[in-house]
């Protein structure tokens, strides 16, 4: 991991710990959650406001925190923290995994009295229709927030056509009206905002437009503190995830998907019967070819149904169970990171040892060659003395001796230069190895802070926040095992 990447990793760990309450946030903190579907421009918007290279720098912490990333930005005397969350269309995680990650993350922060100031939802206006995924994202967003937070919500429509006279722009305006009338009426009626985020081209956000919109939102929200419905339900009411408004919305969506797959499974079963009937009397190989594809589709659909059943069962968990599961997932991923980084370090150490061995062999060879040259020079000097006694060859031997002396002097000098070069290269590699180990030590400390961020914040919040979690944990008999789990995670180290 490069030094620049290590610095960025350290900054994200610090931001994460400050939001979740593991460490005290910087003065005058303002927390803004950014949500929306994949490709709607969330990272580009944060990057435009903060100047952090579209906030898309490759890093490891987001993969451990369920793809939730936090970016810090100073605005005068205020410290703004952008919480970038995954949408409910992530190809690497199920909708339930995303809901658990977001719910756990927000609940830990709330339990430690770190409140959001506002929420931004980005919607891609260039999409021709509102598909099931986009409807689910908007519904889950509203369910997570609740009506009390609607006044601190801003819906930003992105990916607008730059030609306001084009037919495409006219269609986008019509989609905006549909969005307001069919999906955002409740938010807008509670003083929520709808703004157009201009584009430089079909896929690039206009930086000036992003900064102007955020300045308006910042001025309006900077002194507000809001509680989301999911935070109130999980932390204050201690209801299971399945009984929260967001959990019910996701469960309803799962039921619809489940029914859809059941219909598909029934159709595939009928198709298999028809295929086998049409090949009656044919060879077994012919029957196998006729039904193999359908059977494969049937297996895939059945796997989806089994996963949906498992997800629906997993919804029936309390906040403590969600936290325990997220802690276990975090610990496993941090251990995997640690193992991968240690393997990389071991590989580099082996490579370094091999280089030192090669340099040592080259140096020994150079020294042997120089010794051989010295012996040859001594022998030539003796021969020269003998040749001096022969007057008839004196002139010729004299010229030859001078030429050979110059030649061997050059060889000796070249050998010395090579040796100096080997020494310099070896010293440079040793310094690089020392820097690498120092960087590894720093990252170990950084990762340890990251673990503490996920191990301690919720417990700290429940003990100091007075929000009712400690009592629930004692009643459930979870406090001793919970404390033991906290102590265990401290032992993990991570390097790269």
Res. 195: pLDDT tops 60: yes
Neighbours of 107 (CB within 10 A): 27
Domain that holds residue 350: 321-489
Residue 495 placed within a domain: no
pTM: 0.60
The domain boundary, picked from 256, 281, 316, lies at 316
Q: Report the pLDDT averaged over residues 149-169.
A: 94
Strand partners, 226: 116
Residue 494 placed within a domain: no
Mean pLDDT of the chain: 76
Please tell me whether residues 30 and 11 are part of one structural domain. yes
Please tell me whether residues 26 and 129 are part of one structural domain. yes
Q: Give the containing element (helix H, strand E) for 461.
A: helix 457-465
Please tell me whether residues 45 and 178 are part of one structural domain. yes
Residue 224 placed within a domain: yes
Please tell me whether residues 208 and 94 are part of one structural domain. yes
End-to-end CA distance of the chain: 6
Please tell me whether residues 232 and 250 are part of one structural domain. no
Residue 431 placed within a domain: yes
Please tell me whether residues 371 and 438 are part of one structural domain. yes
Residue whose entry in the numeric block shows the structure tokens 């429940």 = 462
Please tell me whether residues 232 and 281 are part of one structural domain. no
Total tally of structural domains belonging to the chain: 3
Do 327 and 66 contact (CB within 8 A), yes or no?
no
Please tell me whether residues 312 and 327 are part of one structural domain. no
Give every CB contact of residue 316 below 8 A, 6+ residues apart in sequence: 240, 241, 242
Residue 36: which CATH number? 3.40.50.300
Task: Read off φ and ψ for residue 44, nearest 5 degrees.
Answer: -65, -40
Write down the pLDDT at residue 327: 62
Task: Read off φ and ψ for residue 353, nearest 5 degrees.
Answer: -65, -40
Model pLDDT for residues 387-438, shown as the tens digit of each residue: 676 666 667 767 777 877 787 777 778 778 877 877 888 888 888 888 888 8
Confidence class of residue 154 from pLDDT cuts 50, 70 and 90? very high
Q: When comparing pLDDT for 96 and 216, which is higher?
A: 216
478 SS3 class: coil
Please tell me whether residues 401 and 284 are part of one structural domain. no
Write down the pLDDT at residue 145: 95
Residue 119 placed within a domain: yes
145 SS3 class: helix
Residue 496 placed within a domain: no
The gap from C-alpha 219 to its chain's centroid, in whole angstroms, comes to 30
Neighbours of 122 (CB within 10 A): 25
Residue 193 placed within a domain: yes
Confidence class of residue 323 from pLDDT cuts 50, 70 and 90? low
Please tell me whether residues 382 and 453 are part of one structural domain. yes
The domain boundary, picked from 237, 253, 275, lies at 237
The domain boundary, picked from 208, 237, 266, lies at 237
Report how far residue 380's alpha carbon sits from residue 400's, in angstroms, rounded to the nearest whole number: 10
Model pLDDT for residues 452-484, shown as the tens digit of each residue: 665 555 545 544 444 444 444 444 554 455 444
CA proximity to 183, closest of 224, 125, 227: 125
Residue 434 placed within a domain: yes
Look at the alpha carbons of 60, 64, 66, 72 in this order and tell me if their dihedral is positive or negative. Answer: negative
CA proximity to 451, closest of 339, 319, 337, 346: 337
Confidence class of residue 366 from pLDDT cuts 50, 70 and 90? confident
Please tell me whether residues 164 and 269 are part of one structural domain. no
Please tell me whether residues 310 and 406 are part of one structural domain. no
Write down the pLDDT at residue 59: 45
Minimum mean pLDDT range among 257-271, 279-293, 300-314, 349-363: 279-293
């Amino acid at each position: 991991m490069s030094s620049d990447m290590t610095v960025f990793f350290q900054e994200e760990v610090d931001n994460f710990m400050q939001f979740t309450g593991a460490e005290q946030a910087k003065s005058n903190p303002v927390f803004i959650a950014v949500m929306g579907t994949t490709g709607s421009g969330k990272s580009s918007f944060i990057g435009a406001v903060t100047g952090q290279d579209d906030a898309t720098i490759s890093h490891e912490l987001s993969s451990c925190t369920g793809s939730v990333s936090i970016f810090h930005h100073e605005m005068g005397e205020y410290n703004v923290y952008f919480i970038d969350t995954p949408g409910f269309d992530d190809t690497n995680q199920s909708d339930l995994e995303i809901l658990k990650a977001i719910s756990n993350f927000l609940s830990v922060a709330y339990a430690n009295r770190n409140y959001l100031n506002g929420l931004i939802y980005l919607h891609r206006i260039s999409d021709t229709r509102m598909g099931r995924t986009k409807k689910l994202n908007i519904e889950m967003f509203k369910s997570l927030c609740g009506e009390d937070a609607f006044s601190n919500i801003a819906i930003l429509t992105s990916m607008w056509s730059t030609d306001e006279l084009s037919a495409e722009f006219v269609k986008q305006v019509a989609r905006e009206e549909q969005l307001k009338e069919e999906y955002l009426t409740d938010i807008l009626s509670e003083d929520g905002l709808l703004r157009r985020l201009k584009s430089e081209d079909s896929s690039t956000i206009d930086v000036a437009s992003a900064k102007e919109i955020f300045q308006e939102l910042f001025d309006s929200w900077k002194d507000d503190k809001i509680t989301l419905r999911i935070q109130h339900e999980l932390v204050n009411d201690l209801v299971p995830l399945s009984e929260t408004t967001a959990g019910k919305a996701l469960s309803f969506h799962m039921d619809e998907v489940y029914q859809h797959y059941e219909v598909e499974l029934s159709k595939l079963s009928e198709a298999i019967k028809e295929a086998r009937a049409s090949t009656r009397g044919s060879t077994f190989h012919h029957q196998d070819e006729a039904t193999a594809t359908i059977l494969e589709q049937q297996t895939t659909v059945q796997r989806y149904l089994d996963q949906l059943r498992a997800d629906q069962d997993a919804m029936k968990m309390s906040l403590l169970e969600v936290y325990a599961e997220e802690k276990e997932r975090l610990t496993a991923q941090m251990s995997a990171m640690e193992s991968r980084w240690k393997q990389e370090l071991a590989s580099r150490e082996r490579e370094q040892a091999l280089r030192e061995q090669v340099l040592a062999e080259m140096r020994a060879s150079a020294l042997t060659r120089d010794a051989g040259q010295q012996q040859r020079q001594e022998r030539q000097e003796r021969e020269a003395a003998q040749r001096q006694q022969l007057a008839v060859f004196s002139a010729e031997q004299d010229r030859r001796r001078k030429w050979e002396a110059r030649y061997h002097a050059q060889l000796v000098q070249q050998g010395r230069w090579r040796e100096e070069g080997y020494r310099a290269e070896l010293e440079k590699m040793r310094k690089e190895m020392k820097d690498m180990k120092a960087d590894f030590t720093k990252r170990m400390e950084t990762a340890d802070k990251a673990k503490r961020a996920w191990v301690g914040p919720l417990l700290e919040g429940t003990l100091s926040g007075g929000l009712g979690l400690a009592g629930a944990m004692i009643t459930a008999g979870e406090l001793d095992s919970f404390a033991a789990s906290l102590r265990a995670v401290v032992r993990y180290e991570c390097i790269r």
